[in-house]
Amino acid sequence: MSDMDQLAMQSGWLAPDDLDLARERVPMGYVDAVPVRLDEAGRVVAVGLLLRAMPDDTISRAVVTGRVLYGETVRSALLRHLAKDLGPMAQPQLPPNPSPFTVVEYFPDPSVTGFVDPRQHAVSLAYIVPVQGECFPAPETLEFTWLTPAEAASPEVSREMTGGHDRLVRMALANVGCLP
């Protein structure tokens, strides 16, 4: 076994060749997080969106998303991806046992569900996550922007999203009763 394979097994990551093989045969488990800011009454007043390179080779606005590692709880995966994408000072507010607001299935073929990941079939648990701290996005992120719910659901911002993330943001806003 190579050093890379041993490191991959110890860290919960698959070696690149093993990951490619798994993606061809097995749905991958993911989490999606829609970061939000709340007012004092608990109403969503802002939605946070990343601007970054996507798996389909586009530059796109996106929610926080990532794979759940072998042996990792969903809560830990959410916290890891939020810290990676928004920085360690973001202060996401997760309950002890978070529940998704929806389950999203991504497919390479956009005609299946409208949610697209050209690399794989992925099943993602989607969460709305209040964030209280300062966000300093990861170096590979081009930008992180707080938008009002109306801006986040607007046709202009929707055109800047790929893979169905525009639909996911609208679903999240509808779930909390603030879809314009």
Report if pTM > 0.85.
yes
Rounded CA-CA distance 61/48 in Å is: 10
Give the tens place of pLDDT for each residue, 129-149.
999 999 998 888 899 999 999
Return the domain boundaries, the chain: 28-175
Query: In terms of Cα–Cα distance, which of 137, 136, 112, 115 is closest to 126?
Result: 115
Q: Provide the pLDDT for residue 57.
A: 77
Distance between CA atoms of 127 and 31, rounded to whole angstroms?
8
Average pLDDT of the chain, as a whole number: 90
- Report the 10 Å Cβ neighbour count for 31: 26
- Rounded to the nearest 10 degrees, how much is the dihedral formed by the CA atoms of 86, 92, 98, 103? -30
pLDDT band at 11 (very low <50, low <70, confident <90, very high): low
pLDDT per position as a tens digit, 33-87? 999 999 999 999 999 999 988 766 778 999 999 999 988 999 999 999 999 999 9
Q: Which regions of the chain does DSSP assign to beta strands (E)?
A: 28-38, 44-53, 59-62, 64-67, 102-106, 122-130, 143-147
**Please, are residues 180 and 158 in contact by the beta-carbon 8 Å criterion?**
no
Taking the C-alpha atoms of residue 27 and residue 113, their distance in angstroms, rounded to an integer, is: 14
CATH topology of domain 28-175: Nucleoside Triphosphate Pyrophosphohydrolase (3.90.79)
Alpha-carbon distance of 145 to 37, in angstroms, equals: 12
Check if the beta carbon of residue 113 is closer than 8 Å to that of residue 158.
no
The answer to which of 13-17, 110-114, 160-164, 169-173 has the lowest mean pLDDT is 13-17
C-alpha distance from residue 98 to each of 102, 106, 130 (Å)? 12, 21, 12
